[in-house]
Every structure is written in C-alpha cells, then in structure tokens.
Amino acid sequence: MKAVEIKKDIYWVGAKDWNLREFHGYNTPDGSTYNAYLIMDKNITLVDGVKHYMTEEQLSRMKSVVDFNELKYVVVNHVEQDHSGSIPQIMKLAPQAEIVTNMAGKQALEAHYDTTGWNFKVIKTGDVINIGSRNITFLTTPMLHWPDSMMTYVVEDKVLMSNDGFGQHLCCEALFVKDYPNDLVFKNAKSYYANILMPFGKQAQKALSGASELKLDIDMIAPSHGLIWSGKEEVNQILSAYGYWAEGKSENKAVVVYDTMWGATAKLAETAMAEFQDAGINVIKYNLGITHISDVMTEVLDAKYVLVGTPTLNNQIFPRVAGFLTYMKGLQPQNKKGFAFGSYGWKPGVVMEVKKVMDDLGWIKTEAFEEKYTPKSDVLEKFALQLRNFIKSDN
C-alpha cells in the first residue's frame, strides 16, 4: 500500500475501514477512514496515527516514502484510540522521534500506553515548530471533543489538519471531497457533527474564532476521518456549515420520532405529521423500530420542533424510546420546541417522563399529550387542536 501525495511533499498515510458499521452507538453504514499525514521536509513529521487493527496499513504506506529512522516528529492531535492506536508501534520503529502534543495529550498518552522512553515536546496554541522549509503551528481545541484535542496547521501549504473537526464517517475510493458527490459528503459531515460534536457547540465556536485570531489562511482542511476539503470554495462551505451548526440555529422543520406496540402511538404520530404538513412546515417522521437513533439525531440537529412519542411498557417508557432519549440527552440539542405524546393501558404518566427530558435540556417550550389505549377520532381531534395551538404559539 502506497502513500498518496495530497500537496507537494505532504502525503496521506492513513487507513480505510470499509467494514466499520458502528461507532459509540452511532450508525456508520459507509464505513470510515483514519487519516494520517506525513510531511516530507528536513525534519520529517507524521501527524496522527490510526486505529490499532489498521496499524499495518499505515506502516505500509509510510514505508513507501520514508525510513522510520528518519522520522523526527510525531504529532498527536488526539489520543482517542481510533487516532492513536498505531502510535506505540510507530514509536518502537522510530524511538528517536519526538511526540508533539499538548499537556492534556501527554497525560492521556501516558494513561493509555506504556510511554517509557518516549520524548515529548509539549506545545500550546500559537506555538510554531520549524521543520525545514515549512513551519507548523497548533490550535488547541479542548473538549472538541476530548480535553487533548488540537489541530495542526502547515503554514506555507495552508493546510489545516483538523483532527475530528470537519470530518465524516465515510469510506470510499476518493480522498477528496471534489471527487465524491457533494450532497453525500455533506450528509455525512452533518451526521458526524450531530452525533459526535453537537454537545460541544461552544467549543466549536471557540475553535473557529481561534483559527481567525491566528490568521490562518486555509486552503485545505485535512480531517482525521473522511474526505479532504480542498480549495477556498470547499473550505468556506464547511466552515460556514460548522458556524451555523455551532450556533444551534434551526430551520422551520419538525421531527416526529416514536415507537409503537399496537398502533396507538403510531396514530398520534401520524396526526402530528399531518398537522405540521397542513401548517406548511417541513416534517420528518421516524419509527424507532426501523430507523437508527443516530439517523434521527442528524435531522434533530437543525430542527425547530422535536416531538417524541412512546407507548407504555411495564409502567415504563418503551425501551427503544428510552434509549433514544438517553442518546439525545447526551448530545444536548439546544433551542428546540418539544412535544411529548404517547399511550398507555392502565397506568398514565410515562409521557411526563419524556417531557421532563425535554425540560431538562432547557427547550423553549414543551407540551405533553397522553391517551389510554387506541385514540378514537374525537381524541385525535383534541390532540390535533393542541398541536395547532403549539405551532401557532411560535408564529
């Protein structure tokens, strides 16, 4: 396996995980890549590793352009194991290399691996290392999405090696966004943000602001996962999208997510969908028995209204709905209007537990509706009227 040159003397030496189908509960039907970059200069520099079981693929690509005893620096932008899994083997092959990371990164590497004999060069935002004809500088981005997270910028080539920022869980033959359908890349970029970075909107805003303060002139964004953004148009496109998502802005869109046992909650979901359609509001309806929770969250990211419906099972929230609520609460979507609804057989009140999750998230306004057994036409009309008033209250 050979390295691939992405700019003069800068090579992609990552690995492609065609078979990855799940990442921390996040559905990854298109697999993923673990991107690493090798900068050939007087002081040869590697930026990032790969997941441990893909180490040999990375080593093979590196060997096609460099001898390990020539490696001077190994930059670790992030210690999560899908980024750093190959680092111990690389350090065995290149014990003379210095690990370049921030203090949180050093501490995390020491916690994860046996770092005996490793030489560390600890950096902070704005520090510069000259590697020959090039200078590399750094932007620490703590909690985007780990304490150690940071980005590396190659000044002369205008390349930002952005770690998890601007990535996608997407594996294909292409390396560049321009060589793949743009709408599919953005779908995956949005899904990645929604399911991994959404809780860290403030940190994302700080990262964007930090790049501006450092006056980084970015012509290429090379993330740790997925395809590489090249040229000002693509770079500005993804930077603009991140600015929008990080601010928690919403479209005039509703997401109705539910599960059902005998169809009662499904009838309420259908009524809810019809009311938003009649109001001229885009609406998407998801049955959790069919749709993965991470696909739902991709649409929740920029939705104004989120409605969650549950039947009652053993006096509890239906398990798939409870799982979705736990997942959603962890991702902390903001600035939503929520509506909890559902059905029960002999014990009411479970829907109020759904409403409480929405209230705990600090959503602008939440309501609830619950019905015993199958809702008849008069009940559905009552529900529809409450929905109309819910929609009108914001228009």
- pLDDT digits 0-9 by tens, 244-295: 999 888 999 999 999 999 999 999 999 999 999 999 999 999 999 999 999 9
Q: Do 215 and 79 fall into the same domain?
A: yes
Choosing from 98, 148, 164, 234, the catalytic residue is 164
Q: 139 pairs with which residues across the strands?
A: 151
**How deeply is 131 buried, as exposed, middle or buried, from its count of CB atoms within 10 A (0-12, 13-18, 19+)?**
middle
> Is residue 164 among the annotated active site residues?
yes
> Is residue 82 among the annotated active site residues?
yes
Choosing from 48, 82, 275, 299, the catalytic residue is 82
The per-residue pLDDT for 146 is 87
| Residue 135 CB neighbour total at 10 angstroms | 14
Choosing from 80, 148, 259, 370, the catalytic residue is 80
- Report whether pLDDT(318) > 90: yes
Q: Do 179 and 33 fall into the same domain?
A: yes
In a domain, residue 310? The reply is: yes
Structural domain span for residue 212? 4-246
Q: What is the CATH number of the domain that holds 369?
A: 3.40.50.360
Choosing from 34, 153, 180, 192, the catalytic residue is 192
Choosing from 57, 98, 225, 371, the catalytic residue is 225
Cα–Cα distance for residue pair 104/108, rounded to 1 Å? 6
- pLDDT digits 0-9 by tens, 212-225: 878 889 999 999 99
Choosing from 5, 22, 24, 156, the catalytic residue is 24
Q: 153 pairs with which residues across the strands?
A: 137, 160
Looking at 184, 217, 246, the residue that finishes a domain is: 246
Encode burial over 85-114: b for 16+ CB neighbours within 10 A, e otherwise.
bbbbebbeebeebbbbbbebbbebbeeebe
> Is residue 234 among the annotated active site residues?
no
Q: Do 93 and 195 fall into the same domain?
A: yes
- Report whether pLDDT(8) > 80: yes
Mean pLDDT for the chain?
A: 95
- Put simply, whether the predicted model's pTM sits higher than 0.85 gets the answer yes
> Is residue 192 among the annotated active site residues?
yes
> Is residue 225 among the annotated active site residues?
yes
Q: How many domains is the chain built from? A: 2
| Residue 160 CB neighbour total at 10 angstroms | 25
Looking at 231, 246, 261, the residue that finishes a domain is: 246
Q: Do 223 and 337 fall into the same domain?
A: no
